[in-house]
Amino acid sequence: MQKAGLTACFFLLSFSSFATDNIWTFDPDIYRAYQFILNLQTDQASAELKKITSKKNELHRMYVLSLNETVDVLITEDAKKFEQIEINFKERLRYIQSLTPTAETLFLEAELNLQRGFNLINLNQELSAVFAIKAAYNATQECLKRYPDFIPIKKTSGVIQVMVGSIPDKFHWFMSLLGMKGSVKLGQKQLEELKASKSSLNLEATILFYTIKGLINQQFDESSKGIAECLKSDPSNRLLLFLGVNMMMKNSQSEEALTMISTLDKQTQGLPVYYIEYLRGEILLQKGDYNHSIQAYQKFIQGYKSQSFKKDSQYKISLCYYLQNKRELAQTNFDLAKKTGKDVAEPDKAAAAQLREDKFPNAKILKVRFYTDGGYYREAKETLHSIVPSDLVTSKDQIEFYYRKARLSHKTGELPAAKLFYNQTIDMTGQNPWYFAPNSALQLGYIAQSQKDFPAAKKYFEMALSYKRHEYKNSIDGKAKSALETLKN
């Protein structure tokens, strides 16, 4: 359930308001406030909402007001503001439940609980979050049962289906105990139905659809192109730009992502999004601009209120110094990273695993990794070709060498070589608790799936799930499960 707060925000920001018809549209005043929220301008949205004195669309106004508060807290991570949101949530829920149940009241009840669930996840209160999402799930199921033609509920249901359907195996017993079932495939289908409708919510459904395509299905090329298409009609929208940066980076298009960050830098209105500095630091590290990468990571650490990603950022600062051969500064920041943040988010877990080894990784392999991740393939190949057997001292270095060859071959479309090196990685890894083998199995599954070799794809996805201990288990398991469901359907 643990995800970065802004990742949860991607889902949340796509939830809109109400109407008395099955298509669901906003009146102009509420829609104006809603547009400010989608642009992460919560103060401006509050100002617009205060101007609305009519009680004609009270449920609409209540929803947008709640959404605005939640977005503000998700991005600022201000725990004190969350205390006030809890009070407001209870008051609004009492009011909704005092009304005669309709499609709109059930929808609003589901949305408010889901918003609360995202906030609780962001505050690392996973158990409370699960019960909030369970309440949202129940209201959603009731709405679908009683009002099957009410289009907006497909968005709520779609998100919950994807969340529950991609949850790691270790939480399955708890979901079953609560009576919650999920399907990534069904969730995407529901979102696609809304995306194709004439509803004013179809842009939000489109954003959700492509975000899930990327983060869950690993279809980064389709996802990044979809977000880029949305940006053509709204090129300065901060949410779209933020999502675009994430999808471009996942698609190894870091240079294009850096251009989007430059566009975001010019949009100074609204909430400051410090997480962008983390992403900037990642890209600059990938391309070898170490001094500016350090500055970005430091700005992120200073401005971001959550503890997530801070251990990884501090560790990456030490790597920047290490790759510049500034050993004393590298060691100082390496030691500082051990005491910084928490190892809850997966990048922090990966950093913590390396910190526990109490030594720096192989410098040449590290450069190959960063160049490949960023899409700087020429530099990656040059560095890879410079590695000689004497550079690979440990068994981990030797295994990762073949893993990096596999990743680079895969990214550049050399699939026979990629398959060879992925299999070699799996054979060499054995039972070592490194993510190289499980991710190799996952990627072999994707290659087999793309080549219509579905039995092989199933074998590799199941193999990816079989590894019990590694730092990226939650995300790799979620992706493998989603892929298996796609094969099943």
- pLDDT tens digits along 92-105: 999 999 999 999 99
Of all residues in the chain, the percent with pLDDT exceeding 90 is: 59
> Which residues, in sequence order, are CB contacts of 148 under 8 Å at separation 6+?
none
* CB-CB contact of 477 with 464 (8 Å): yes
Average pLDDT, the chain: 89
pLDDT at 318: 98
Burial (0-12, 13-18, 19+ Cβ within 10 Å), 160: buried
* Residue 377 scores a pLDDT above 80: yes
Residue 181 — pLDDT band, cuts 50, 70, 90? confident
**C-alpha closest to that of 283 among 308, 262, 310:** 262
Helix axes 58-76, 5-12, angle to 10 degrees: 160
Q: How far apart are CA 384 and CA 205, in angstroms?
A: 42
Residue 305 — pLDDT band, cuts 50, 70, 90? confident
* Residue 13 scores a pLDDT above 50: no
Q: For residues 213, 261, 270 and 83, what is the CA-based torsion angle, rounded to 10 degrees?
A: 60
Residue 173 — pLDDT band, cuts 50, 70, 90? low
* CB-CB contact of 472 with 439 (8 Å): yes
pLDDT at 467: 92
419: its two tokens:
């398959």
Of all residues in the chain, the percent with pLDDT exceeding 70 is: 94
Q: How far apart are CA 52 and CA 165, in angstroms?
A: 39
* Residue 407 scores a pLDDT above 90: yes
Average pLDDT for 399-408: 97
pLDDT at 359: 93
For 234-243, 362-371, 386-395, which range has the lowest pLDDT when averaged over its residues? 234-243
For 51-60, 255-264, 356-365, which range has the lowest pLDDT when averaged over its residues? 51-60
For 88-102, 289-303, 461-475, which range has the lowest pLDDT when averaged over its residues? 461-475
Residues counted in the chain: 489
pLDDT at 244: 92
Helix axes 184-195, 473-488, angle to 10 degrees: 70
pLDDT at 1: 45
Where do we find the tokens 């999502």?
243
Q: How far is CA 50 from CA 32, 87, 114, 185, in A?
A: 12, 19, 24, 40
226-236 burial, b at 16+ Cβ within 10 Å, e below that, comes to bbbebbeeeee
231-263 confidence digits (pLDDT tens): 998 898 998 999 999 999 999 999 999 999 999
* Residue 63 scores a pLDDT above 70: yes
Q: How far apart are CA 179 and CA 168, in angstroms?
A: 16
pLDDT at 382: 97
Domains of the chain with bracketed CATH:
5-216 (no CATH), 378-489 (1.25.40.10)
SS3 content of the chain, % helix, strand, coil (to 5): 75, 0, 25
Q: Cα 274 to the chain's mean position, in Å?
A: 16
**C-alpha closest to that of 16 among 104, 146, 80, 134:** 104
Look up the pTM and report it.
0.84
Residue 2 — pLDDT band, cuts 50, 70, 90? very low
Residue 171 — pLDDT band, cuts 50, 70, 90? low
Average pLDDT for 267-290: 94
Q: How far apart are CA 113 and CA 138, in angstroms?
A: 10
**DSSP labels, 268-307:** -SSS--THHHHHHHHHHHHHT-HHHHHHHHHHHHHH--SS
369: its two tokens:
């990794």
* CB-CB contact of 40 with 181 (8 Å): no
pLDDT at 8: 45
Greater confidence (400 vs 162) lies with 400
Helix axes 103-122, 126-146, angle to 10 degrees: 160
Average pLDDT for 369-377: 96
Helix axes 327-338, 346-357, angle to 10 degrees: 120
pLDDT at 4: 44
Residue 19 — pLDDT band, cuts 50, 70, 90? very low
> Which residues, in sequence order, are CB contacts of 142 under 8 Å at separation 6+?
106
* Ramachandran area for residue 32 (φ above 0: left; ψ -120 to 50: alpha; else beta): alpha
